[in-house]
Amino acid sequence: MNQRIAYISILVADYDEAIEFYTKKLNFELVEDTKLSETKRWVRIKPKGNSDCCLLLAKASDTEQEERVGNQTGGRVFLFLFTDNFDRDYKNLIDQKIAIEREPSDESYGRVAVFKDLYGNKWDLIQPKVRVD
């Protein structure tokens, strides 16, 4: 049996502002942006490197979804961005004026800081002590 997670859907308020944030501020790659209808697009982004898993940007389409933009996990860290160079990527967060929720710390599993994306979703930036593929 061979399974993998291919996409993780993340609610956004606007496709273009989300693409701009993730590609210009976090340096992610835009993998696909396909128009499906007048209001819906299939937008996939991913971190640069050998990551197979993409974020699927899903524009909130009703009041219930709009209320969850930026808080899909009830205030917990939502996504975990592993890096091979913590200092480089943390400096980029600071340079891009991205909100830092928790300053860098050294933990048993590696160096970590918590930041917020443009909507307030919490992310861990982690340079693991042991390589995890």
What is the DSSP annotation of 32-49?
A: EEEE-SSS-EEEEEE-SS
Condensed to tens digits (0 to 9), the pLDDT of residues 12-50 reads 999 999 999 999 999 999 999 999 999 999 999 999 987
pTM for the full predicted model: 0.92
The pair of structure tokens assigned to 77 is 């860290």
Give the pLDDT score at 50: 77
Architecture of the domain whose range is 1-68: Roll (3.10)
Common-topology check for domains 1-68 and 75-133: yes
Condensed to tens digits (0 to 9), the pLDDT of residues 80-97 reads 999 999 999 999 999 999
> Which CATH number fits the domain 75-133, given the four candidates 1.10.357.10, 3.90.1150.10, 3.10.180.10, 3.60.21.10?
3.10.180.10
Which 8-state DSSP code applies to residue 127? E
